[in-house]
Every structure is written in C-alpha cells, then in structure tokens.
Chain A
Amino acid sequence: MGSHDNDDMGFQHRNEGSLNCPSSGMSTNPLPEKVSRMAMSSISMFKPSNAPDPFFGSGWDPLVSLSQSDNFGGSSVASQSEYTNHPYPVAMETQGMSSTSHLVQYPSDSSFVEMVPKLPCFGSGSFSEMVGSFGLPECAGISNSGCVANYNPNRDGGIDRTSTMGAQSHDDRQISEEGALGSSPNGKRRKRVPESSPNKNAEGELNKDMSGESSDYLKEQDEKKTKQEENAASNLRGKQTGKQAKDNSQSGDAAKDSYIHVRARRGQATNSHSLAERVRREKISERMRLLQELVPGCNKITGKAVMLDEIINYVQSLQQQVEFLSMKLATVNPEVNIDIERILSKDILNSRSGGGAIFGFSPGMNSSHPYPHGIFQGTLPSMPSTAPQFPSLPQTVLDNELQGLFHMGFDSSSNIDNLGQNASRLKPEL
C-alpha cells in the first residue's frame, strides 16, 4: 500500500535526519507506526536474537517496569516483553500488521547499513526526551550510555544475518522501547474523548496535550492515522529539526477507538483550533462514508452536499414508507387473534422475503420515490435467513411466490382460514 511506502521513506528520512539527536525528539513520532509493524514481524525473531544482547535484557529493565506499570497496550508492549522475557501479555494491535511484508525488502536496501549506526544516537536522544518527560533521569542516563555502548557488537550480527527479520528486530528493539515509553504515558494521560463531546472538549484536550509531552506519540492508530501519516510523512522532512515540539501536537480524540492523532501538515497552521477543526472534519467525512454505505446507490457520489441531499431524500422516503404502511395496516387489520401474534412473529422474524411485496402494494408511492424498488432488491440478499425451513427467495420476488412462501410458512391452522375470511370481508373500501 502506498502508506507503507511512505512510511518506509519516512523512516529512512528519520534516520538520516537523526544526526541532531537531542533535538530529534519528534522524529520518534513516525516511528511508532513502524514499531507496531516491525514488532509484529520481530516477535518470532526475538528469542534467538536475545542471546547476544545482554544489554537490552538488563539495561532497559527500569524502563520496562515503568512501561509495565503504565499499563499500555500496544504492539510495542509485546515486543518489549519478548526480549526482556517479561511476563506481559502479548497484545498485538491489528492496524498496520498486515503490512509487514514490505519490511522484508527493507534491509536489503543499501541505505539500511548506513542507517543502522545512527539508530543508537537517535534512539537515545528520543528516549531521553521521553524518559525525561516521565521524570526518570536515571533511565535517561541508562538509555544514553547503554544505547551507544552496546549497540555496536550487535550491529554486525544484525547486518550479517541473511534473514531480513533479524536485522529488523535489531531496530525494533530500539524503536519499540521508545515506542513503548511513548505510548505508556499517553495511555494514562489522555482522557478518552466521547464521541458526542462538543468542540470545546476536543480543543481543551488538544491544549492539554500540547502543553504536555510534545514528544509523545502514540502508537495505537487506526486507518485514519495511517492516512494522515501518508500525507505527513512526506511533509516531515521539512520539519525534522525545527519546531517539532509544536508541529507534532496531537488532538485528544480517539486512538483505536477514541483517539485520533493528527499531525499538522506542512504549511498548515498548527494551533489547536485548526487541528481540532481538521479532526472534526475528518470525523465528519468518516461518518459520511458510513452513510454512503447505508444509502443505496450512493457509491459513485462524491461531494458532501450531493451526498447529504441523497441522505435526506432517503430518510424522507423511508419515513413516508412507514406512513404508508401504517395506513395500509389501519385498513387491512381489524382482526384480533392472540395466536396469530405468535405465528406472525415467527413468520416475520424467520422469513426474510417480505421485501418484494412492496411492488404490488405501493400504489400510493409516486415517482418521487425511487428508493423502494432499489431498497428491496438491494436489501433482499443482505438479509440472512435464520430459519432452515424457509428457503431464501431469489431477488426478484413476485407476488405469487410470496403467497407460496406465505402458505409454506404458516401452519395449517384454522386461524388462518378465519383471518382470510375476515380479511376478505372487512376490506371493502380498499
């Protein structure tokens, strides 16, 4: 997918620009997504690669315990737990997991070798920033020293490996730690913004996030974030070293289910208001997409105004159908029979073929309702048939077929005969 290619490029750029290690705190931000994917791929490789790497096993323990206590759930957790042999639940996030295939090509890239030595510097810089924000200076010290010291012996081992996964896992450890730390406080600090919260809350959350760790970047993303990454990764290059603290402000909306992490694009305003606006606009467009699926025949419509018009027409037509049907029921339904209710319930719930009858029953529906015909043909196949004794009807349901099914569905009870007689007697004016 294109987004993954962008992430690849972003990752390369991140590493190339990581020479300014101390100020490259923000460069960790695109990583987490990478981390989640790499962590997935590296899970299987962690155990064998543990042996030549005592540093990671011991040095990061305080960090691990920190992340543990912070109770974050992400793929980075899994990766960390793997290599620190920690009894932590391996919770893999599903986003971006399918994209691990592209990582296979990654180490064969010649630039990968150049990138590898930069990682410790990069990692330490970002790590110390992240750790510092948690108020753990000793961990920062560890990260700085241990990172540089012990990286080299593993480098050769990582590169010499023919299997690409091994080399990736090397980076993964670095990145996943940063990612883990990054994700842990976020999981705690961010409040879950409910969907119905008004704009104010989103902005307030945004301000809070901006004032908080600007270097934190959460890994739990949904497809929305990957899309933003797509746009943002290419724009990141211009912003790597500069005001990354500002640029990588996030909004306080949904993570997997309640956070959306937004990156300000190049040339766009980065204050909280416009970011919140952007988030809301994206929420709205996502809802519009859902509505597009609900309303039949709206797949080709692009444009919010036209789509909204269609939606309004559809709702209107549905409401009018309900009115028409209730009028019809008012005229044809005078009889009361208690047993009928049960039979009817069973029949209604079991038989999913009632849609086709509307053709014959809607003389009152004039031409302003293109929907009824479309609806029922469209919805018929989507209705699951739960009762095994009723065969599912084909799409083109004719009245006589319906009658046949009707008779099939009903038990031969005298109630039906009564109903039939009474109904025929009592619908004179129809």
Chain B
Amino acid sequence: MNPQLLSLSPNNSSLKSRFTLGFLRALKRLNMQTSSSPSPPQTVSSSSSSSPREMCRRYLRIRIAADASMASAVGSRRAWSRTLLLKIRNRQFRSCNSSARRISMKKKCSGRKMKKKLKCDKEINELRKFVPGGEAMDACSLLDEAAHYIKCLNTQVKVMTRIADIYSAT
C-alpha cells in the first residue's frame, strides 16, 4: 500500500495521478450503484447487469466519468476542461440553462470576426469540432488547447488501458 496516494493534494500530484484517483473513485461509485441493483453477483446469469441496455448505460456513465475526472484533474486552467465540465454539469441538471449556454456559445462563434484567411481554415474548423470548446476560440488558442488536450487524452488512454488490463487479467 502506498501511503502517499492517500494524501495526494491537487497541487503536488501529477495530472496522471489525479486522473487515476478520480476515475477509480468514479468507477467504484458506479460499481456500487450496479451492485446495489437487485441482481446478485454470485449467479452466472447476472442477466440484468449484462443486458445490452444496462451495459450501454454503464458504458455511457463510465465515459462521462472518464471525461469528468480528466477535466477535474486539469482544473479550470484550460478552456477545453472548463467546457467539458460545463457540458457534464449541464447534462446532469438538464435544465434550460444548458440550452441557453449553448446558444450563447453559438452567438459568440458567429460574432467572431473572420480575421484569419489562412489556407488551412477548413482544417482548423474541423479541429474545432474535436476539441471541446473549440468553437469559440481563435486559431492560435485552438492549437494551444489542442496540444494540451492531446497530452491529456494520451494520459487518459494510458491509465484506462492499465485499469482495463488489471480488471480483465485473471
């Protein structure tokens, strides 16, 4: 047991460790939810927990949890993490606020002056779709955010691969 892990503070620990802890906690929470469901785990046919719908729901929750823990690990320093957190919280609340925010973001996007007449404008607009929050950014900061986003995605993939290995290895 590593005592350091139990006392990790957001400032000292690395992005990887923050994400790992957050994601594992989220997974634990999700597992508790599913295990508290009426299907007992000792039978082979745990049909309800492995039904496609249930699995699909679980998959979606895990994906959201992964994104959320990644964005929380990054914090509010980056535009993309802020956007992600906002999206996730809006989804949770499911209030009219979410639509209002989306509209405001779209307005910001259309009101932006098209200053850049680069030859690569098409590709840059393509990239906007993939980087969260990229719609309302200019090309320069978009590339900046994309670089950080790629780095964090890499970390995320590594950690999740490791977790999947550990859980599936027998």
Contact = CB atoms under 8 A, between A and B. Distances in A.
B90 to A, nearest CB: 20
A336 B165 contact: no
A327 B140 CA distance: 34
Interface centre among A312, A349, A425, A428 (most CB of B within 10 A): A349
Nearest to B143: A287
A315 B153 contact: yes
Contacts of B27: 329, 333
Interface residues of B, number: 72
Given A325-B157, A345-B24, A283 B140 contact: yes
B156 interface: yes
B58 to A, nearest CB: 4
Query: Main SS of chain A's interface residues?
Result: helix
A335 interface: yes
A354 interface: yes
Interface in A296-351: 304-305, 308-309, 311-312, 314-316, 318-319, 321-323, 325-336, 338, 341-351
A314 B153 CA distance: 10
Interface stretch (A146-154, A205-213, A264-272, A355-363): A355-363
A383 B139 CA distance: 30
A369 to B, nearest CB: 12
Interface string B24-47: 110110011011000001101010
Top 7 closest A-B pairs, CB basis? A354-B162, A308-B123, A287-B143, A330-B59, A318-B153, A336-B31, A325-B160
Interface of B: 1-2, 5-6, 16-17, 20-21, 24-25, 27-28, 31-32, 34-35, 41-42, 44, 46, 49-50, 55, 58-59, 61-63, 66-67, 79, 113, 115-116, 118-120, 122-124, 126-127, 130-131, 138-141, 143-144, 146-147, 149-151, 153-154, 156-170
25 contacts: A280-B116, A280-B140, A287-B140, A305-B123, A312-B126, A315-B150, A318-B154, A322-B153, A329-B163, A330-B58, A332-B168, A336-B31, A341-B25, A341-B28, A344-B166, A345-B2, A345-B20, A347-B166, A348-B20, A348-B166, A354-B165, A361-B165, A403-B169, A419-B167, A423-B167
